Structure 1
Amino acid sequence: MKTVFKSVFAINSRKSFKAYMQRNLNLLKEISNQRLITQGTALHGHLIKKGISSEKYVAVKLLVMYLKCRKYGEINQMLKEFNGFNLVVYNCLIAANVEWGNLNEARRLFEEMPQRGEVTWTALVSGLLRYGRVDEALWYFERNPFRDVFSWTAMISGLVQNGLGLQAMKLFLRMLDSGVMPNNVTFTTFFKACADSADFGLGMSALALVVKVGFDESLPVCNSLISFSLKVGEINLARRIFDGMKERDVVSWTAILDAYVEMDSLEEARRIFDEMPERNEISWSAMIARYSQNGYAEDAVNLFHEMVQSGFRPNKSCFSCAISALASLEALQAGRNIHGHVIKIGIETDVFISSSLVDLYCKCKETGDGRRVFDLTKVKNVACWNSMVAGYSLNCQLEEARKLFDLIPCKNNVSWNCLIVGYLENEQFDKVTDLFNEMLLSGETPNKSTFSSVLRACSSLASLERGKVLHGKIVKHGFQYDIYVGTALISMYSKSGDIECSKQVFSRMPRKNEVSWAAMIQAFAENGFAEESLALFDEFEHSSSFAPNELILLAVLFSCSHCGLVDKGLHYFNSMEKIYGIKPTGRHYTCVVDMLSRSGRLSEAEKFITGMSCEHEVNAWVALLNGSRIYRDKIVAEKAAKKFSKMVEEKSEVYVMLSNVYASAGRWFDVLNTRKLMIEKGLYKGGGCSWIEERNHIHVFYCQDGTHIGSTEIYGVLQLLKSEM
Structure 2
Amino acid sequence: MEIRTTTQLANFLQLCIDKKSHTKGKLLHAHILRTGLFADTFLSNRLIELYHKCGRLTTARRVFDKMPHKNLFSWHAMLSAFCKSGDIDEAHKLFVKMPERNSVSWNTLISALVHNGSDQKALNLYHDMNKTGLLPTNFTLASVLSACGALKDFICGCECHAFSTKIGLDKNIYVGNALLGMYAKCGHIQNAIKAFEDLPEVNEVSFTSMVGALGETDHINDAFHMFQSMHRIGIQIDAISMSSILGVCARSGNNELGQQFHDLTIKLGLEKDLHLSNSLLDMYAKNGDMNSAEMVFNNLSQVSVVSWNVMIGGYGQQHEIKKSIDCLKRMERFGLKPDEVTYINMLTACIKSEDIKTAHEIFNKMTFPTLSSWNTLLSGYSQIGKHKETVQLFRNMQFCNVKGDRTTFSVVFSSCASLRLLKSGTQVHAASLKIHIDDDIYVASGLIGLYSKCEKINLAKIIFDRMNTQVEDIVCWNSMMLGLSINNLENESFVLFKKLLETEMIPSQFSYATILSSCTKLLSLSQGRQIHAHVSKQEMEIDVVVGSALIDMYSKCGDVNDARLVFDTMITKNTITWNEMIHGYAQNGEGEKGVLLYEEMINEKKLKPDSITFIAVLTACSHSGLIDYAIKIFNSMFQEHGIEPVSDHYTCVIDALGRDARFDEIEVILGNMPCVNDTIVWEVLLSCCRVHGNVKLARRAAEELFRLDPCNSAPYVLLANMYSSLGRWDDVRKIRELMIEKKAVKNPGYSWVEHKDGIQEFNVDKNEQVSDERYCLSG
Q: TM-score normalised to the size of structure 1?
A: 0.69
1:355 counterpart = 2:410: yes
Higher deviation after alignment, 449-458 or 52-61: 52-61
Aligned-partner Cα distance in 1 for 2:245–2:96: 32
Matches within 5 A, 1:70-89: 77-79=66-68
Give how far 1:279 is off: 1.0
Which runs of 5 or more structure 2 residues have no equivalent in the other structure?
1-21, 85-90, 115-135, 142-172, 183-195, 197-201, 209-236, 248-257, 773-779
1:370 counterpart = 2:431: no
Matches within 5 A, 1:454-493: 454-493=515-554
After superposition, give the CA deviation of every residue in 1:74-117 in whole Å (9 maximum; x if it has no partner): 9565336x9xx9x9x79855745877368899999999xxxxxx
Paired residue for 2:274, among 219, 222, 242?
Answer: 222
Matches within 5 A, 1:184-583: 191-192=239-240, 195=243, 216=272, 222-223=274-275, 225-227=277-279, 230=282, 240-245=295-300, 247-258=302-313, 269=324, 271-277=326-332, 278-289=337-348, 298-299=354-355, 301-327=356-382, 329-330=385-386, 332=388, 335-336=391-392, 338-342=394-398, 344-345=400-401, 347-348=402-403, 350-364=405-419, 365=421, 366-379=424-437, 380-408=439-467, 409-542=470-603, 545-546=606-607, 549-576=610-637, 582-583=643-644
Give how far 1:206 is off: 8.6
Matches within 5 A, 1:90-105: 92-93=77-78, 95=80, 100=91
Partner AA of 2:395 in structure 1: H
Which runs of 5 or more structure 1 residues have no equivalent in the other structure?
1-24, 30-46, 112-120, 139-155, 173-188, 712-725
Distance 1:369 1:704, change over 3 A: same
Give how far 1:62 is off: 13
Give how far 1:230 is off: 4.0
Contact 1:90-1:109 within 8 A present in 2 as well: no
Contact 1:222-1:241 within 8 A present in 2 as well: no
Partner residue of 1:671?
732
Give how far 1:476 is off: 0.9
Aligned-partner Cα distance in 2 for 1:491–1:552: 14
Aligned-partner Cα distance in 1 for 2:599–2:378: 46
Give how far 1:686 is off: 0.9
Aligned-partner Cα distance in 1 for 2:241–2:607: 42
Partner AA of 1:313 in structure 2: F
Distance 1:443 1:678, change over 3 A: farther
SS at the partner of 1:480?
coil
Partner residue of 1:592?
653
Distance 1:206 1:437, change over 3 A: closer
After superposition, give the CA deviation of every residue in 1:520-567 in whole Å (9 maximum; x if it has no partner): 333223222244334444444556744655433432321222233334
After superposition, give the CA deviation of every residue in 1:228-284 in whole Å (9 maximum; x if it has no partner): 774798988875553234553424322444566678887765553453213112210
Partner AA of 1:586 in structure 2: S
Aligned-partner Cα distance in 2 for 1:694–1:74: 87
After superposition, give the CA deviation of every residue in 1:408-443 in whole Å (9 maximum; x if it has no partner): 132423222222333333444333333322322233
Distance 1:634 1:702, change over 3 A: farther
Matches within 5 A, 1:164-175: none
Aligned-partner Cα distance in 1 for 2:175–2:343: 30
Partner AA of 2:671 in structure 1: T
Distance 1:479 1:680, change over 3 A: same
Contact 1:327-1:361 within 8 A present in 2 as well: no
Partner residue of 2:125?
none
1:693 counterpart = 2:754: yes
Aligned-partner Cα distance in 2 for 1:243–1:359: 42
Give how far 1:648 is off: 2.8
Partner residue of 1:723?
none
Distance 1:592 1:333, change over 3 A: closer
Contact 1:317-1:352 within 8 A present in 2 as well: no
Partner residue of 2:222?
none
Contact 1:590-1:617 within 8 A present in 2 as well: no
Distance 1:577 1:274, change over 3 A: same
Contact 2:139-2:175 within 8 A present in 1 as well: no
Aligned-partner Cα distance in 1 for 2:729–2:399: 67
SS at the partner of 1:693?
strand
Distance 1:226 1:530, change over 3 A: closer
Aligned-partner Cα distance in 1 for 2:641–2:396: 49
Contact 1:257-1:272 within 8 A present in 2 as well: yes
Contact 2:452-2:483 within 8 A present in 1 as well: yes
Distance 1:273 1:68, change over 3 A: closer
Aligned-partner Cα distance in 2 for 1:469–1:62: 71
CA RMSD of aligned residues (A): 5.1
Partner AA of 1:684 in structure 2: V
Higher deviation after alignment, 573-582 or 664-673: 573-582
Aligned-partner Cα distance in 2 for 1:69–1:341: 38
Distance 1:675 1:195, change over 3 A: same
Give how far 1:625 is off: 0.7
Distance 1:63 1:368, change over 3 A: same
Partner residue of 1:182?
none
Partner residue of 2:678?
617
Higher deviation after alignment, 323-332 or 386-395: 323-332
Contact 2:481-2:514 within 8 A present in 1 as well: yes
Partner AA of 1:279 in structure 2: P
Give how far 1:488 is off: 2.3
Higher deviation after alignment, 421-430 or 263-272: 263-272
Aligned-partner Cα distance in 2 for 1:625–1:202: 64
Contact 1:405-1:415 within 8 A present in 2 as well: yes
Instruction: Decide which structure has the larger Cα Rg and report it.
Output: 1
Aligned-partner Cα distance in 2 for 1:170–1:562: 61
Partner AA of 1:676 in structure 2: E
Higher deviation after alignment, 677-686 or 258-267: 258-267
Partner residue of 1:146?
none
How many aligned residue pairs are there?
606
Contact 2:242-2:265 within 8 A present in 1 as well: no
Distance 1:707 1:339, change over 3 A: same
Aligned-partner Cα distance in 1 for 2:571–2:246: 30
